[in-house]
A = this chain, B = another copy of it.
Amino acid sequence: MVLMTFLQKLKAAMQQNNSLFCVGLDPDVAKLPTQFKDSAQPLLDFNKAIIDATADLVCAFKLNSAFYEALGTSGLEQLKLTAQYIKKNHPGIPVILDAKRADIGNTNQGYAISTFDYLGMDAVTVHPYLGGEALQPLLDRADKGVIVLCRTSNPGAAEFQDLQADGQPFYMHVAKRVAKDWNQNRNCLLVVGATYPEEMKSVRQAVGPDMFFLVPGVGAQGGDIAAIMAAGLGSNQNELVINSSRDIIYASSDKDFAQAARQRAQATRDEINKHRS
């Protein structure tokens, strides 16, 4: 059996489901429908319903580690079981751990083990601040995706990311370094927030038409799909992984939450596809 890399798996899922859309499984136990109140593993049970309702509409699932870590060992177990559930029941859909890790090299080996081996994730998000040398243990995992924060979606992203160095904002230095130097194994992606289409356009111009972007910020954060599609698509009209979390998983707080999530996911996927040429 030939193992697929993260990017191969991602592209195959994009084609199979005709989708650039990614559902973020970021469940907050306080916000779940009441039917999960007595569950021993409420995040997992909730996730299963969302996954089954949307798996044929997405190119990936993204799990944000913080929501699971807030529940300690039980949350970590549910994070792992969610990834296992996707792999078993929807094996074509890659799973991204949005953990925003990064330490010195010796220590990143631990994060490579926890993310890829223990949790079984296909890709992980990382901070660029310590440089590529520190991230080598993650970059060395050629079959896994390493998704580097470049221009984030939050309101205060500009504080450091827009500082000008040599006539270019800091995030452009990150984009170019990743594209030119860090991507020897062709396993790097960039995080470029949906809330900043102008910045996305400049990053696309800088890194060329082939690099994939993970794009958070659609939905609750207000990113505009038409604008990001115009700004960010590359040569094959599929180089964006557009994520929404809260907007999908909390589409309804009632018993119909999974059906509502499916409808919202379908509408978002179709809206995205309207802007592919």
Contact = CB atoms under 8 A, between A and B. Distances in A.
A153 to B, nearest CB: 7
A68 to B, nearest CB: 8
Contacts of A80: 72-73
Contacts of A113: 70
B72 A118 contact: yes
B170 A114 contact: no
A137 to B, nearest CB: 10
A161 B177 CA distance: 13
Contacts of A132: 156, 159
What is the copy number of this chain in the assembly? 2
A209 interface: no
A2 interface: no
A249 interface: no
Contact of A118 (B70, B127, B131): B70
Interface residues of A, number: 57
Contacts of A108: 66
A187 interface: no
Interface stretch (A4-12, A96-104, A260-268): A96-104
Given A67-B107, A107-B67, A113-B70, A152 B165 contact: no
Nearest to A246: B106
Contacts of A155: 133
Given A100-B102, A170-B170, A111 B156 contact: no
B163 A149 contact: no
B156 A133 contact: yes
Contact of A77 (B73, B149, B158): B73
B131 A129 contact: no
Interface in A127-156: 127-134, 149, 152-156
Contact of A104 (B127, B152, B158): B152
A59 to B, nearest CB: 22
Contact of A107 (B66, B71, B77, B118): B66
A129 B73 contact: no
A33 interface: no
B129 A129 contact: yes
Chain A to chain B: the 7 pairs with minimum beta-carbon distance, closest first: A133-B156, A66-B110, A131-B159, A131-B156, A69-B114, A70-B110, A104-B154
